[in-house]
């Protein structure tokens, strides 16, 4: 453990999960801190200013959604939410309230670490990196300045909405983006129920930019939640 190791605060009432996370995180050079309740978690967030928060949705005293909302009133610290299967609606709400990602229990260490890496990278991105003029993944290259997209070095025509969808997913690369967030970014307010639009445009993007559109490697569906541009790292 060195002074620069990032602190991760785990807000979770279940002891076995805290133990698992403590082991996983300390083995990977994170400093592990814990809270058992929402109220205690909120205090700790303010006191220790962790680099990242892992937050259980079902806490004894508070809902994870309310914890997220309170943190987001004053802080952008990345939040990864832990949820149980079947809590899709809860996940959507908490992501829309500003959580960065989610993990469904039970989850593995490699999945956990990948999510943490992505969230920390997004949090530390400087303005410089955000204004990079090119983005690459798989066989795809996007030139933002010229608004050109290439697949296997061949220019691909995208409609304006396909392009917006693509660049939005790139902006959040590696992170889940909810249907609501995507619809708002692309069509503006008032379209939050039109998830079938997204399905149509996503199918088009996959057809144009995936090697095997039926088995997408990059444009990943998060069932009942949204989509994720998977990045190799």
**Which residues here bind Ca ion, judged by CB under 5 A?**
13, 56, 58
Instruction: Describe the strand order of the beta sheet including 7-11 as a list of residue ranges.
Output: 31-35, 7-11, 52-56, 79-83, 101-104
In this complex, which beta carbon is closest to Ca ion, that of residue 55 or of residue 165? 55
Helix pair angle (88-96, 179-187), 10° resolution = 40
Minimum separation from the CB atom of position 8 to Ca ion (A): 17
In this complex, which beta carbon is closest to Ca ion, that of residue 6 or of residue 58? 58
Please tell me the distance from the alpha carbon of residue 60 to that of residue 62, in angstroms, as a whole number: 6
Bridge partners, 34 (sequence order) = 10
Minimum separation from the CB atom of position 172 to Ca ion (A): 27
Task: Write out the two tokens for 164.
Answer: 């917006």
In this complex, which beta carbon is closest to Ca ion, that of residue 56 or of residue 100? 56
In this complex, which beta carbon is closest to Ca ion, that of residue 16 or of residue 223? 16
Of all residues in the shown chain, the one whose CB is closest to Ca ion is 58
Task: Give the number of C-alpha atoms closer than 13 A to the C-alpha of residue 25, restricted to the C-beta side.
Answer: 24
Task: Write out the two tokens for 152.
Answer: 């296997």
Minimum separation from the CB atom of position 27 to Ca ion (A): 23
Minimum separation from the CB atom of position 116 to Ca ion (A): 20
């Amino acid at each position: 453990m060195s002074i620069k190791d990032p602190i991760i605060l785990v807000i979770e009432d279940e002891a076995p999960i805290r133990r698992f996370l403590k082991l996983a995180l300390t083995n990977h050079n994170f400093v592990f801190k814990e809270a058992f309740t929402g109220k205690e978690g909120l205090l700790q967030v303010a006191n220790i200013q962790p680099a990242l928060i892992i937050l259980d949705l079902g806490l004894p005293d508070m809902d994870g959604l309310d914890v997220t909302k309170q943190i987001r009133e004053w802080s952008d610290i990345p939040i990864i939410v832990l949820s149980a299967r079947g809590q899709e609606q809860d996940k959507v709400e908490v992501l829309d309230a500003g959580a960065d990602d989610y993990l469904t229990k039970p989850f593995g260490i490699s999945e956990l670490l990948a999510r943490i890496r992505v969230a920390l990278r997004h949090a530390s991105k400087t303005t410089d990196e955000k204004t990079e003029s090119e983005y690459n993944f798989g066989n795809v290259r996007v030139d933002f300045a010229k608004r050109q997209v290439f697949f296997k070095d061949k220019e691909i025509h995208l409609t304006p909405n396909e392009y917006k969808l693509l660049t939005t997913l790139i902006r959040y690369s590696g992170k889940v983006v909810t249907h609501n967030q995507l619809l708002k970014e692309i069509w503006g307010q008032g379209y939050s129920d039109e998830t079938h639009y997204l399905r149509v445009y996503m199918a088009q993007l996959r057809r144009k930019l995936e090697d095997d559109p039926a088995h997408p490697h990059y444009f990943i569906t998060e069932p009942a939640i949204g989509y994720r541009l998977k990045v190799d790292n």
